[in-house]
Structure 1
């Protein structure tokens, strides 16, 4: 009886072992290593620029009486930025008004003379020439009154133009004047960054042939050091939209469009990784790598069975099939890697 139980136990163990052996190949997958091309990137600093910077200019000369904005203020198109006052304009307005009042008095006299000449000629006591003379004098004064009113309207318009308006919606960069400053017509009162923000890159001349419009670049979060730029999760993607055809001082200039720069400072710098070349690498999925005692291993499937091979890893990247890790040494093109 004991011998029968012992035999049944051995049979059960053998069945379990067979099941495990049968299940192990089904639980593992093979990944065939193939050479693939990846972009080699270079870390450079991109400088935030505004597509357009427009000046808010004084339209008349005078003294700056009020300034309504400071550096960093957000302004809307047509919003008052400052007030320039020319004290002579008030005197010119008073003179124009006095001239109009004097001409109005002359107009009353001319109208009275015309009416008198009209009545006299109707009674036969005056000639037609006198009537024509009175009518001409009346018309001259009417035209003088109209001209004086137009001159006054021009002066009033000049007074209104003392208000300096924002030419576009944007952020104020600089305000080079202070209240009490004397400015001339056309002088800048404020500079406004009104265009869309972008990044301007300056790269060594040797990379000029490798930079292509439409390439994707990686932008780190705000900061000037790689540690400040954050991990990949903190990075954003931009696109090279323009490569300038002129090389200056051994540098090639490129512009990168990227969203989310609205709160950056103009001329602020941030870290950018831009592709400058392509190279061929061998790579495997990250889960294929196991680390034991500080050494990285990859399990290979060979005709003789499975064996662990020590490898040296490079950088991580994303391709069309998912995340990959570069293998610098230890693998060859065509090797079959066992995935867990």
Structure 2
């Protein structure tokens, strides 16, 4: 159709202009929606990863403990009485068998003398009964005495011998009581504070001992370790490879030896109590002091190590994020065995896994990630 009239040409131009405006508006709106969609898309979390590495690692454990005496004796009286003498000064080092206290022995000495007199009296009666029995037996052979008379004399002698044996036991007991009025040191060691003074009454039922003697050389240290380390420690102990060192106050290291492993694990703390022995000739270690220990428990073969910052704490315990083949983060529970050489030794990984070391903020299980940097071997 030919548009040869002016009004028809003007109408066609108007319709074309309106169509162009509609197209431009649609393009503009679509462009804005595309820009908004691009703007709303969040970038993937940016993380750094490390490869879980298996190493043959020396097992070095650290612990804190308190110095304790390996031997300690509370000196108590075994007989009551007045303290007549104290033969040392509190705080002195004493030798085994050294006289410490003298208790008034007048009562027990009198008792000893009475029992000795009784023993002598009965002994004389026994001698007389033996002579009578011998004479009656001789006369019985001549038929001056009957057999019953011999039996009577024999019974009398046996009764007197039994009485003599009993009174001899009383004499021994009284003599022991006299000896106990002199109290000697049961072992060599360092004495503590005195609880009595000359003139004080020493009682066998007293709650407080006269003095306490502790062994000072060698001396012990009591400490505890997590139960997770018990199997490794026992293996090393059986192999004779356990080494213990103590940090002395002057900064030196003092070697010692493991002397005790408790037979139960504390169910409240999940720890095991141990005790080590250390030489203390210089008297640098004092009972009750707080010390630091380093325990070498052999070598852990194929230990899995990670940077400490790779470990996270959740309601179910410690865990790490492991990347799968699609670079998606998956939760893997782990157990922290110890921190050593600025690395975390863990259980729960096989070695070789790619573990998120940094960039945990906002990371969720199953989320895809971008790897910004790789650290460690073959990460």
TM-score by length of 1: 0.49
User: Which is strand-richer, 1 or 2?
Assistant: 1
Higher-Rg structure is: 2
TM-score by length of 2: 0.45
